[in-house]
Amino acid sequence: MSDRNVHNAGFTPSGITGGSLASSLMSQEARASGGGVPSGGPTSTLQEMGARGTTHSSGYTSSGISGGSRASDTMSKEATAYGGGVPRGGTTSTVQSIAMGGKGGRR
């Protein structure tokens, strides 16, 4: 289910689908970072998963984030960087939201 949700959002093996949630997220992220999409951010993370179909194996599941996974490592690093909480619109919350069929967080 998670991989299908990521593909439905516009993150596909052939790239980001124009006019999709993915293209909107990419545009917002590029504007916020001064013109580029940063490595490790929501867009690059979701596109990598969409291209490879690795949402579940990365730890982003419909039941939440799997312990000991790449997703839990990302969540831990974000929480440390933000003083103990995971920011809305950050990589963890956005990827998990889209993996579960949501529209991602907004910054």
> What global pTM score does this model have?
0.82
Outline where 14-100 has alpha helix (H): 21-32, 42-52, 55-58, 70-81, 91-99
Look at residue 107 in the predicted model and tell me its pLDDT: 47
- The predicted pLDDT at position 20 comes to 96
Q: What is the pLDDT of residues 22-40, one digit of tens each?
A: 999 999 999 998 988 988 8
Q: What is the pLDDT of residues 35-81, one digit of tens each?
A: 889 888 899 999 999 998 888 788 988 888 999 999 999 999 999 99
The two structure tokens encoding residue 83:
């003083």
Domain boundaries, the chain: 1-100
